[in-house]
Amino acid sequence: MKLFKKLAAGASALALAATMAASGLAPAMTVTAADDCNDDWLHAEGSKLYDKNGNQVWLTGANWFGLNCTENFPHGLWSADVDVLLSSVADHGINVIRFPISTELLLSWKNGKPYSATGLNPKNGDGFSFNPDFCHADGSEMNSMEIFDVIMQKCKKYGIKAFVDVHSPASHNSGHNYELWYYEPASKTADDMATIKEEQGDAGAQVTWDDWIESITWLAEKYAGDDTLIAYDLKNEPHGKRGYSGDKAPVDMAKWDDSTDKNNWKYSAEECAKSIMKVNPNALILIEGIEQYPKTEKGYTFDTPDVWEPKTEEDKKWHGAWWGGNLRGVKEHPVDLGNAAWNKQIVYSPHDYGPSVYNQTWFDKEFTTDTLLDDYWRDTWAYINEKDIAPLLIGEWGGHMDGGKNEKWMKLLRDYMIDNHINHTFWCLNPNSGDTGGLLDYSFTTWDDEKYALMEESLWQTSKSGKYIGLDHQHPLGVNGTGLSLTEYYSTYDKSEGSNINGGKGAGKSNPVEIETKPATEPKTEPTKATEPATKATEPTKATDATKATDATKATDATKATEPTVTASKYGDLNGDKEVNILDVICMNKLLLGVSKLEGELQANADVDASGKIDSDDSLNLLKYVLEIVKELPVKK
């Protein structure tokens, strides 16, 4: 990572975080972002993705989980301000976020009974503010659907694109362990991981195959007029093994063949994708792989039993893979939506991990890029890119920085993705992923510099100036000047210096396309009453009303200081407790933001530089005094 980018990103995050930590007040910002003409939809030509102008693009991002869990919101927002977090993510060059979500939560939205967010606790009243844009004008907390809508608007504001992945049927913190995308009674974990868990919902009800399709289609229709949410990952890590007995494939195993069985992932993905395409033909459809695929080259099928501890290669009847990582079936049974235009929206999305997650057989040697390709990558998923069949997006990769084999694997995969223009989303931003860790620490504001430096090279960026390239034509990526909009890049930087796309070999061109635009409308299946709160939350006028503290005129009016009519009793003591500490810094920031007032000697105490006015210099000097950087008050100029 280039030093100036690190310093710029760090300074930006530190300034925002310091304001929040010192004052207890999140930066009050308007929820909505300006309409960008709905012009950022993408499509595929061969193995590459292009914008509407025929310019090649590269999705390089990270995962942020929590909507799939019982808290019903992205984790970390219990302590981090959403603007601080997302602006920092954008300033660090991440141009897309993958949001895991559950079918159960989507159903609550679709059915007009959105679940509440558990443990978020935003505040906007009584002189205190934290994540205020997650509150209604009356100070009440938004529900999970409204919070998601706000987050999408924040992503738009910072030039970040987003997509959801259906991580599990139920809202469950371990729901990814379930094999399928619907309730299957043969599965030992179906009652735990594929039934409604929340008492707010229809607790105990089974999440059906139809529920899965209808709920994600509902979301696609809701966001058909908003190109912030550009893609839908239909199901996280379909998996399951054949087993060693019987003459039929088990019904709780995800398979990939030409049948119309519901556990045939290829068939189910096609049906779900076609449902989405009918309401939003511009969205990308991400389709993951499965776990096991039979050695069809030897005549084996999904009905062929596996062999326990095969002694030779000839004894093996199956090709193994990571959960969701096996896309061998595409060679024989490619996904076909029955429509040439719809097929251009297909992106295959395997997951790949290193030995710190599980020591697979391809790590049992001094592995290199070539051995990984020969032993696993090429026949499992890399051929799809090599043969120009469709784009790839590695939906999850990452792991612990062990200084050894896992770190070596991460660097090899990173470099392979750079050289071959493979899209990807790193797992993950969250620090609370047990088998991988995250890019952020438990405050969700401080970055793991070592891990980020490894991942950063795989972010789309210009070749000389190192500016990160976003996927939005209007909004640049981030706020600190290290990011570009897609228009800025292709109008200037592409010709002057290029980027690291295709390993720095340059981006190809395709023919421009017409985007079928439609205004954002609520889907017909959503009850009107359920949509009203979300609409109100994102209306510009309402958002402005809720954040009046940020109005420049009002803030100035609130902080106009006149000559004190009384003498200061103790400079810096703004709460009258006869002491000067961090509580007084909080009072100072509330005063400057216009959410509280001081009178008499307390107002005089706030003028800590005795200048006759109270302004940001007083706030800074008071903080310096509390930190013992300056030794006495009033500060002498």
Please tell me the predicted confidence (pLDDT) of residue 6: 42
Angle (CA) 412-417-418 rounded to 5° is: 100
Residue 303 token pair:
């009905």
Neighbouring C-beta atoms of residue 570, cutoff 10 Å: 17
Tokens 């590269």 — which residue? 58
**Omega before 185 cis (within 30°)?**
no
For residue 589, what pLDDT band results from cuts at 50, 70 and 90? low
Please tell me the predicted confidence (pLDDT) of residue 20: 42
Domain ranges (residues) in the chain: 3-546, 551-626
Please tell me the predicted confidence (pLDDT) of residue 517: 62
Closest CA to 83 of 126, 20, 142, 146: 20
CA 459 from centre of chain: 15
**pLDDT of 128 higher than 60:** yes
Element (H, E) at 15: helix 3-23
Indicate which residue of 71, 179, 237, 407 is catalytic. 237
**pLDDT of 8 higher than 80:** no
Strands 423-426 and 393-394: parallel
Query: For residues 2 and 452, is the Cβ–Cβ distance under 8 A?
Result: no
CA 97 from centre of chain: 3
Residues sharing a CB contact under 8 Å with residue 620, sequence separation 6 or more, in sequence order: none
CA 85 from centre of chain: 11
Strands 56-57 and 293-294: unpaired
Query: For residues 427 and 413, is the Cβ–Cβ distance under 8 A?
Result: no
The mean-pLDDT minimum among 150-164, 323-337, 480-494, 588-602 falls in: 588-602
For residue 547, what pLDDT band results from cuts at 50, 70 and 90? very low
Three-state SS letters, 369-431: HHHHHHHHHHHHHHHHHHCCCCCEEECECCCCCCCCHHHHHHHHHHHHHHHCCCEEEECCCCC
Alpha helices for 134-173 (secondary structure H): 144-157
Which residue did the predictor score with more confidence, 522 or 327?
A: 327
**pLDDT of 531 higher than 60:** no
Tokens 């039934």 — which residue? 195
pLDDT digits (tens, 9 = 90+) for 296-316: 999 999 999 999 999 998 999
- Per-residue pLDDT, averaged over 125-135, amounts to 90
Report the C-alpha dihedral over residues 65, 394, 233, 33, rounded to 10 degrees: 60
Please tell me the predicted confidence (pLDDT) of residue 14: 42
Tokens 């510009």 — which residue? 540
Which residue did the predictor score with more confidence, 212 or 5?
A: 212
Spatial distance between the Cα atoms of 558 and 510, rounded to a whole number of angstroms:
55
Which residue did the predictor score with more confidence, 622 or 491?
A: 491
Query: For residues 171 and 68, is the Cβ–Cβ distance under 8 A?
Result: yes
Please tell me the predicted confidence (pLDDT) of residue 592: 67
Q: Percentage of residues in the chain with pLDDT exceeding 90? A: 71
Spatial distance between the Cα atoms of 398 and 458, rounded to a whole number of angstroms:
12
- Per-residue pLDDT, averaged over 574-581, amounts to 79
The amino acid that residue 321 corresponds to is A
How long is the chain? 637
Please tell me the predicted confidence (pLDDT) of residue 22: 40
- Per-residue pLDDT, averaged over 433-448, amounts to 95
Please tell me the predicted confidence (pLDDT) of residue 445: 93
Please tell me the predicted confidence (pLDDT) of residue 510: 80
Residue 238 token pair:
């379909």
What residues pair up with 326 in beta bridges, in sequence order?
Answer: 290
Spatial distance between the Cα atoms of 113 and 181, rounded to a whole number of angstroms:
22
Please tell me the predicted confidence (pLDDT) of residue 5: 45
**pLDDT of 142 higher than 50:** yes
Residue 505 token pair:
């070999």
Spatial distance between the Cα atoms of 423 and 397, rounded to a whole number of angstroms:
11
Which residue did the predictor score with more confidence, 234 or 568?
A: 234
Can you tell me whether residue 304 is helix, strand or coil?
coil
The mean-pLDDT minimum among 48-57, 201-210, 226-235, 582-591 falls in: 582-591
Please tell me the predicted confidence (pLDDT) of residue 508: 78
Tokens 């003459």 — which residue? 247
551-626 — its CATH code?
1.10.1330.10
Residues sharing a CB contact under 8 Å with residue 385, sequence separation 6 or more, in sequence order: 47, 391, 392, 420, 421, 422
For residue 590, what pLDDT band results from cuts at 50, 70 and 90? low
Strands 284-287 and 293-294: unpaired
Q: In whole angstroms, how far apart are CA 142 and each of 73, 83, 106? A: 11, 17, 16
Using the 8-state DSSP alphabet, how is residue 322 labeled? S
Angle (CA) 349-355-361 rounded to 5° is: 90
Residues sharing a CB contact under 8 Å with residue 217, sequence separation 6 or more, in sequence order: 272, 275, 276, 278, 279
**pLDDT of 419 higher than 50:** yes
Residue 566 token pair:
């009384």
Please tell me the predicted confidence (pLDDT) of residue 36: 56
Which architecture does CATH list for 3-546? Alpha-Beta Barrel (3.20)
Query: For residues 28 and 16, is the Cβ–Cβ distance under 8 A?
Result: no
Which residue did the predictor score with more confidence, 114 or 574?
A: 114
Global pTM reads 0.79
What residues pair up with 287 in beta bridges, in sequence order?
Answer: 348
Q: In whole angstroms, how far apart are CA 200 and each of 103, 114, 166, 172, 440? A: 15, 8, 20, 14, 31
- Per-residue pLDDT, averaged over 77-98, amounts to 97
- Per-residue pLDDT, averaged over 482-510, amounts to 93
Query: For residues 607 and 637, is the Cβ–Cβ distance under 8 A?
Result: no
**pLDDT of 97 higher than 60:** yes
Indicate which residue of 45, 71, 214, 396 is catalytic. 396
141 part of the active site: no
Backbone φ and ψ of 436, nearest 5°: -135, -25
**pLDDT of 579 higher than 90:** no
Please tell me the predicted confidence (pLDDT) of residue 33: 46
456 part of the active site: no
Residues sharing a CB contact under 8 Å with residue 259, sequence separation 6 or more, in sequence order: 267
**Omega before 37 cis (within 30°)?**
no
- Per-residue pLDDT, averaged over 169-197, amounts to 96
